[in-house]
Amino acid sequence: MSSFPIVDYFVDQLTIPVSRRAFGPDPIRGFITIEELHQDVLEITEHPIEQGGVISDHAFKRPARVTMKIGWSNSPAGAIGGGVFSSSGLLGQETTQVAEIYQQLLKLQNAREPFDVFTGKRYYQDMLIKSLDVMTDKASEHSLSVTVTFQQVILVGTTTINIDRVPASAQSNPQSTQSTSNLGTQNLQPTTNVNAAAATQALNPQPASETVVLSTPTP
């Protein structure tokens, strides 16, 4: 019982439609869900596929997406349905119900931690809030109408395995196929297989000599 009898009277007379739709680690429920849009898309290649080929290699599933239009208000009914209640609204004072819920939605989006979403037709796991659209006009100042889009995060597992090193004797071309080895720090060594004279001649070619034969007449 509260200290305001009039509050208890009105609360007892209210029939609150508790929504099955909820989302978040600390479930948030809307006072009213206006509409839901479920979207599942399969991307399929537009290139020709050879007959007999594995078709599943040319198509992949996009993350599931659901868009919900949800409403709250500053009325006691809206407060109870949304899980937050302030009696000040019954006494003619302005409440912060819708502002608090809006901040909860922004906090949930900024957390970027996957959560579950329950709808009237489907249960989603590993979802994030992709977008929040809120429009306020003179007729909706004391209510909150949110279009929230949830998108699935596709999680995969990875496994690391160790492959034994294949000995060089079992490889047909170990110079090309053998794995690299750490030989430590290596220093350059002078080579003895260079023909210094041939290298010098190649770098500094000399002009070809001409042989002139002079003939002397016999007396």
Q: What is the CATH number of the domain that holds 147?
A: 2.40.30
Classified as helix, coil or strand, 86 is coil
Q: Is residue 58 part of a domain?
A: yes
Q: Pick the closest to residue 23 from 85, 97, 109, 99 (CA basis).
A: 109
What pLDDT does 150 receive?
98
Q: Is residue 42 part of a domain?
A: yes
Identify the residue with better confidence: 177 or 150.
150
Tokens encoding 175: 């110079």
User: Is 75's pLDDT higher than 80?
Assistant: no
**What's the pLDDT tens digit per position in 167-178?**
666 667 766 666
Classified as helix, coil or strand, 11 is helix
Stated as kind and residue range, the H or E segment containing 80 is helix 76-81
68 φ, ψ to 5°?
A: -125, 135
Tell whether the torsion through CA atoms of 101, 102, 105 and 106 is positive or negative: negative
Stated as kind and residue range, the H or E segment containing 145 is strand 143-152
For the residues 1-23, what does the mean pLDDT come to?
49
Length of the chain: 219
Q: How confident is the model at residue 120 (pLDDT cuts 50, 70, 90)?
A: confident
Identify the residue with better confidence: 204 or 69.
69
Q: Is residue 193 part of a domain?
A: no
Q: Pick the closest to residue 151 from 181, 125, 130, 176 (CA basis).
A: 130
User: Is 67's pLDDT higher than 70?
Assistant: yes
Q: Is residue 110 part of a domain?
A: yes
For the residues 194-201, what does the mean pLDDT come to?
68
Task: State which amino acid sits at residue 101.
Answer: I
User: Is 166's pLDDT higher than 70?
Assistant: no
CA angle (193 as vertex; 188, 197 as ends), nearest 5? 115
Q: Is residue 160 part of a domain?
A: no
Domain extent, residue 145, equals 5-152
What pLDDT does 186 receive?
81
**What's the pLDDT tens digit per position in 78-107?**
443 444 434 344 444 455 788 999 999 999
For the residues 30-41, what does the mean pLDDT come to?
93
Q: How confident is the model at residue 3 (pLDDT cuts 50, 70, 90)?
A: very low
What pLDDT does 6 receive?
41
CA angle (13 as vertex; 71, 22 as ends), nearest 5? 30
For the residues 116-130, what does the mean pLDDT come to?
94
Identify the residue with better confidence: 30 or 109.
109
What pLDDT does 138 receive?
84
Q: Is residue 148 part of a domain?
A: yes
Instruction: Judge whether 102 and 73 are in contact, CB under 8 Å.
Output: no
Q: Is residue 206 part of a domain?
A: no
* Model confidence, pTM: 0.59
Q: How confident is the model at residue 182 (pLDDT cuts 50, 70, 90)?
A: confident
User: Is 124's pLDDT higher than 90?
Assistant: yes
Quote the number of domains for the chain: 1
Q: Is residue 144 part of a domain?
A: yes
